[in-house]
Amino acid sequence: MTISRMEIRKRDGLARSGIMTVHDTTVKIPAVMDTERLFPSLMSTRLSNIPLSAPEGFVRSYSVQNGDQPVTIHPLLDNPAQSGDCVMVANWHTAFHQPRNYVNWLVVLKEKTPPDTTWYAPGVALPANAHILIYTGFDFFDFRAVDLKTAQGIFCTPEGEFPKTMMESGICSCEGCRTGSLKMHNQTALLGEIALITRFIEQGQLRELVESRCRMHASHVAILRHLDNRFTFTEPRAPIARGGVMQVNSGESINRVEIRRFAERLTSRYIPPKTDVAVLLPCSAKKPYSISWSHRRFQAAVANRAHELIVTSPLGLVPRELETIYPAGHYDVPVTGYWDAEECAVISGIIARYFARNRYRRVIAHLEGGALKVAEMAAVACGITLEYSCRDHPTGDEALANLDLALAGELRIKDNRLHGMCSYQFGIDLDTRGFSVRGRFPEIFYSRNNVQCFSIDTATGMLRPTIDGWNLIPDGYRVTIDDFVPEGDVLVPGVENADPQIREGDEVLVVGARAIATGRAALPGGEMLRSRRGVAVRVRKIKRV
């Protein structure tokens, strides 16, 4: 019997914040608490403490399922948990010693357990590891690990552990430090760190916090890298867009799932406009690039006589039409002029894949420095020959005059932002004849026969189709509902089917026998089908049929 439930307020990858209810007690998650008060059966549960690396025969003969919450799960056991359950993974502290297994076990456990369960890791949370535990999908913890540190005379902070004598050094001024209680300090430090992590989940910047926190522990960096290598596991769980700026400040940033997803879609879904002349341009600090001073000058020189492709770290290549789309319009990266070897290898690889798939008669490099270097590496790799309109100072008058001259006699191409965005976002080759454009970039509205079909969402930079717009998207991104007219958001129990390519935050069309509706997915398509409760689609407009 399910005795608990969870209401998610905000998700970011595997991390969630929200409210968990157990019997009559509500707890804000992520949380640290006296778990035995919440789950009295923990006091009497025997043999839930099976090592993660134990052999299968041992695990099967000793595991006990008594029907109580939390439900013990183990990488080698069949999943006994149902939607709404609290699940417990014992001995998770030992996984930190084996980063590769940490990720292997995590993936196995997450894939076989319903997504709408809350996750408890007993005896493991410390101020220094809470970030990675929550990032990898654990929701609540107890004070056991910090209390053990107290017994050992260890002073805990998010940055690491110190001897108890550090309490008097002024590092912390909590009540525990003021009154000489190490136990109170260590518990307060854990509570404070979890409150901070919750804030970062809510502002969509947990990854940035984790990249910063993990620097103090080799095992945390290793876990992050192993998890980034599990793209097919992490990608469906990552939101399609976030609010705010994506800070790309560490060596791990280039492996972020959003960055790899952008490159994957660029080299698989995206359809470029019909032209055979391309110009490679440098990026700008201001986003979207078009509103920057340098890009206004580039665009004036190009005058629509070539397809504009922006060479940038870490995304690789951003076609002009995709410049608003998350994360192309939302990243910040330290600009030093130096591109390291891994950056060059990854980015030239993306550019080479793009040009191997999309052939042009002429590719003009209007670049300098690292961007020029990666373009040249890519040209060699995919067997194309670059022309050069400059090798330094691309915004200078001379370089721009050269660019203008290089394009003399080339035909003007039509603005086809809508076509490019539709191919990237919905995987379709939209016929954009007859469309008119109004609005002030980047807030653009696309209409046909005076009927609005699409607009660009200025927060995510993605397209927002109206119901008339959805009529032009033949399939995909649909959520099928039962025979009812939704009143407000569509909830999980009402969902009959959902396209598995839907990601959290995607624009979707809700289709039912009695109504259709536009809205935004609150869950990935796969999780709409694997969950039992919660909001599936935040509805914008409903039309009875």
Select 7 or 161, whichever has its Cβ closest to Zn ion: 161
- Distance of alpha carbon 536 from alpha carbon 513, whole angstroms: 18
Name the one range near Zn ion by CB under 5 A: 37-45, 135-143, 170-178, 224-232: 170-178
Size of the site for Zn ion (CB under 5 A): 5
The residue from 19, 33, 148, 172 that contacts Zn ion (CB under 5 A) is 172
Contact residues for 74 (Cβ-Cβ < 8 A; gap 6+): 50, 52, 59, 63, 89, 90
Max CA pair span of the chain: 83
- Under a CB-based contact definition with an 8 Å cutoff, are residues 515 and 485 in contact? yes
- Distance of alpha carbon 313 from alpha carbon 263, whole angstroms: 12
- Shortest approach of Zn ion to residue 181 CB, angstroms? 9
Select 178 or 393, whichever has its Cβ closest to Zn ion: 178
Select 179 or 232, whichever has its Cβ closest to Zn ion: 179
Enumerate the β-bridge partners of residue 443. 440
Select 177 or 537, whichever has its Cβ closest to Zn ion: 177
- Shortest approach of Zn ion to residue 184 CB, angstroms? 8
The residue from 19, 77, 108, 174 that contacts Zn ion (CB under 5 A) is 174
Name the one range near Zn ion by CB under 5 A: 164-172, 385-393, 429-437, 466-474: 164-172
- Shortest approach of Zn ion to residue 29 CB, angstroms? 24
- Shortest approach of Zn ion to residue 135 CB, angstroms? 24
Q: Does the footprint of Zn ion cover residue 177 (CB under 5 A)?
A: yes
Looking at residue 322, what DSSP letter applies? G
- Distance of alpha carbon 66 from alpha carbon 306, whole angstroms: 68
Name the one range near Zn ion by CB under 5 A: 134-142, 174-182, 194-202, 354-362: 174-182
Name the one range near Zn ion by CB under 5 A: 181-189, 259-267, 332-340, 536-544: 181-189
Element (H, E) at 196: helix 182-202
Select 127 or 176, whichever has its Cβ closest to Zn ion: 176
- Distance of alpha carbon 445 from alpha carbon 196, whole angstroms: 39
Select 148 or 382, whichever has its Cβ closest to Zn ion: 148
- Distance of alpha carbon 475 from alpha carbon 492, whole angstroms: 21
Please classify residue 543 by burial: count the beta carbons closer than 10 Å to its beta carbon, then call 0-12 exposed, 13-18 middle and 19+ buried.
Answer: exposed
Name the one range near Zn ion by CB under 5 A: 82-90, 177-185, 220-228, 330-338: 177-185
- Shortest approach of Zn ion to residue 206 CB, angstroms? 24
Select 174 or 291, whichever has its Cβ closest to Zn ion: 174
Torsion sign over Cα 54, 57, 61, 66: positive
Q: Does the footprint of Zn ion cover residue 185 (CB under 5 A)?
A: yes
Select 158 or 176, whichever has its Cβ closest to Zn ion: 176
Name the one range near Zn ion by CB under 5 A: 73-81, 121-129, 165-173, 341-349: 165-173
Over the range 78-117, which residues count as b (16 or more CB within 10 Å of their CB) and which as e? ebbbebbbbbbbbbbbebbebbebbbebbbebbeebbbbb
Sites of contact with Zn ion (CB under 5 A): 172, 174, 176-177, 185
